[in-house]
Amino acid sequence: MARYLFYEIRVRFDDRSLKSRTLLSPDTTLFVFVLGEDVEVGTRGLTTGLLEEFGSERVKDTPISEAGFVGFATGAAMEGRRPVVEFQINTMVFQAFDQIVNNAAKFHLMSGGGLRVPVTYIFPASGAALGSAAQHSDHPYSYLLHAGVKTVVPAMADDAYGLLVTAIRDDDPVAVFSPALIQGRRAEVPDGSHLVPLGVGRVHREGTDVTVVAVGPLVSVAIKVAGELAEQGVSVEVWDPRTLLPLDHDGLARSVEKTGRLVIFDDSNRTCGFAAEVAAFGAQDLYSHLRAPVQRVTRADVPISYSLPLEAAALPRAETLEGAVRAVIE
């Protein structure tokens, strides 16, 4: 076993199994590369040491121009490379939406299947944490879901590593989120080529009374709440989607068919967020199995304040989740 920093980009860059057609060069040593602001020094901790290990041809600092380097990555991917783009601040993705939404996410369809865009976007320190204020506290994954971009938000180190490798090997754009509240945690992960498939959820705690769908850093919160409720006779199943798009509808359905109740615990906006999509699936496709209305525990539809008390008031919390669980079983 090896110890990996949560979301460390220490994948096997020279893995020849990644190779597909390339129009630029048969040299696979340049096939996968990382680019972004200050990735050479690893400001966010995700690329630390990669420059020394792989050299400047594989680890590229960029100007502060998200539209520019994301567009560059799209072109490189279309020509056979597999670029890994790190956004130093995750909300700066808004500067590059045209390049992602109108270009990378659509070129495969627009070319009649002739072009693939295998680019991976990494979003470090996403979400609210310790007063990051309105412009640096979003989890912009719901925006990417609306655009049809494959999106993963792992909660555990082994899933983070396995999903990152899978994302880089995927032939379509994939967004990988590294939530601020859990980035930096260390854990054992398997040696070698550990792959976690996209579109497969994970049950972290078995239960029979309520299914709690928890996303990213909220998984550990949900597991703790489930343990406390178990002492009071309430059996909670904690289900982690891992991949938000494609969503594991079959896995979620199996859980809800068993428990008959559904609560979604998600740190994105309530309106048109990921929780709303899961709730709609539950209400439309699983209604015959539900014994109570679906409940959502999300962040409020407001910009996050610099004030720590106001920040906390806007975010989903353990006590709110406990209240939602009690509401569906009473």
Per-residue pLDDT at 163: 94
Token digits of residue 58: 């594989």
Token digits of residue 93: 């993705």
Which residues make beta-bridge pairs with 266?
298
Inter-CA distances, 256 with 150, 279, 317, Å: 24, 12, 22
- Choose the weakest-confidence range: 16-20, 35-39, 124-128, 193-197: 16-20
Per-residue pLDDT at 16: 36
> Is the peptide bond between 293 and the residue preceding it cis, with omega within 30 degrees of 0?
no
Residues with Cβ < 8 Å from 82, sequence gap 6 or more? 18, 31, 32, 33, 118, 119, 120, 168, 169
Residue 30 vs residue 87, higher pLDDT: 87
Confidence band of 138 (pLDDT split at 50, 70, 90)? confident
As a dihedral over the C-alpha atoms of residue 179, residue 184, residue 185, residue 188, rounded to 10 degrees, the angle is 110
Q: What is the mean pLDDT of the chain?
A: 88
Strands 82-86 and 120-126: parallel
The tens digit of pLDDT for each residue in 60-77 reads 999 999 999 999 999 999
| H or E segment and range at residue 244 | strand 243-245
What is the Cα–Cα distance from 77 to 94, expressed in whole angstroms?
20
What is the Cα–Cα distance from 172 to 323, expressed in whole angstroms?
40
Provide mean pLDDT across the span 238-260: 98
Per-residue pLDDT at 30: 52
Q: Compute the half-sphere exposure of residue 252: CA atoms within 13 Å on the CB side of its CA.
A: 26
Same fold flag, 2-189 and 202-329: yes
Provide mean pLDDT across the span 127-146: 84
Tokens 């045209």 belong to 98
Which residue type, as a one-letter code, is found at position 45? G
What is the Cα–Cα distance from 122 to 278, expressed in whole angstroms?
24
- 3-state secondary structure at position 61: strand
Inter-CA distances, 246 with 53, 146, 149, 201, 242, Å: 34, 12, 9, 10, 10
Domain 2-189 in CATH 3.40.50.970: yes
Tokens 């705690």 belong to 205
Provide mean pLDDT across the span 105-134: 89
Per-residue pLDDT at 190: 78
Indicate the domain borders of the chain.
2-189, 202-329
**pTM attached to this predicted model:** 0.87
The catalytic site residues sit at 66, 136
Looking at the domain that runs over 202-329, which CATH code has it been given? Answer: 3.40.50.920
> Over 90: is that where the pLDDT of 24 sits?
no
What is the Cα–Cα distance from 285 to 82, expressed in whole angstroms?
37
Per-residue pLDDT at 126: 79
What is the Cα–Cα distance from 204 to 191, expressed in whole angstroms?
22
- φ and ψ at residue 239, rounded to 5 degrees: -115, 125
60: nearest Cα among 88, 42, 36: 36
The tens digit of pLDDT for each residue in 177-192 reads 988 777 777 778 777 7
